[in-house]
Each structure stands twice: as structure tokens, then as C-alpha cells.
Amino acid sequence: MAKKIKNVLRNLVTTKMELPKDVMMDLPRITMIGQLHIYIENHRGLLSFADHELRILLKQGQLVIKGKGFVIKTILPEEILLEGQIDEVTFLDL
């Protein structure tokens, strides 16, 4: 119940103050250019990496990216830039 009230208040504040929802609600921001490049901001860390799959921890679950020839171009505490052929992006609600 308290979590629901907290989310309602965040939505209200975000709407009234015109703040970006990803900032107020602690959501990831994902920018993808074609199938070649994906930039993820506001994550909780890298869980696993292979040249065909990347798993990232989010506040609520995980983000799984599948494809081929992956290379991490940039990795910072809350940002990751991945390049390669991206075939699938999936959210896992754990």
C-alpha cells in the first residue's frame, strides 16, 4: 500500500513539475540506433557479458540484450554503450 502511494506521489510531482519520469521514478533510459548501437543510462550494474548477450541489473529486474559481435565501448557506474548486431532487448521483472 505504501509503495503504491509513493508511486502515485512521484507521478503527481513529475507531472506538475514537468520533470523527466526516468529521473523521478528511477527508470533506465535506453537509446537505440538501429540494430548497431544501444546506450543504457541509470542501471545498477553489469551482471554478465558475452559477445552474444549482455545482462544489466535494473532497480526493478534485469535488461537482457541478445545479438552478435558485442563490444562494450563505454562502461561507467550508471551508463553502458554497447555496439554490435542487436537482435533482441528484453525486460525481466524479477
Predicted local confidence at residue 3, as pLDDT: 67
Q: How far is CA 6 from CA 3, 13, 51, 67, 72, in A?
A: 5, 11, 39, 37, 36
Q: Where are the domains positioned within the chain?
A: 27-92
> What stretch of H or E contains 63?
strand 61-76
The residue to which cell 526493478 is assigned = 60
| % of the chain with per-residue pLDDT over 90 | 65
Q: What is residue 45's predicted lDDT score, i.e. its pLDDT?
A: 94
Q: What is the Cα–Cα distance from 73 to 82, expressed in whole angstroms? A: 6
pTM of the model as a whole = 0.75
pLDDT at 24: 52
Segments of the chain scoring below 70 in pLDDT? 1-3, 6-7, 9-25
CATH: 2.30.40.10, 3.30.1540.10, 2.60.40.2000, 3.20.20.105. Which one for 27-92?
A: 2.60.40.2000
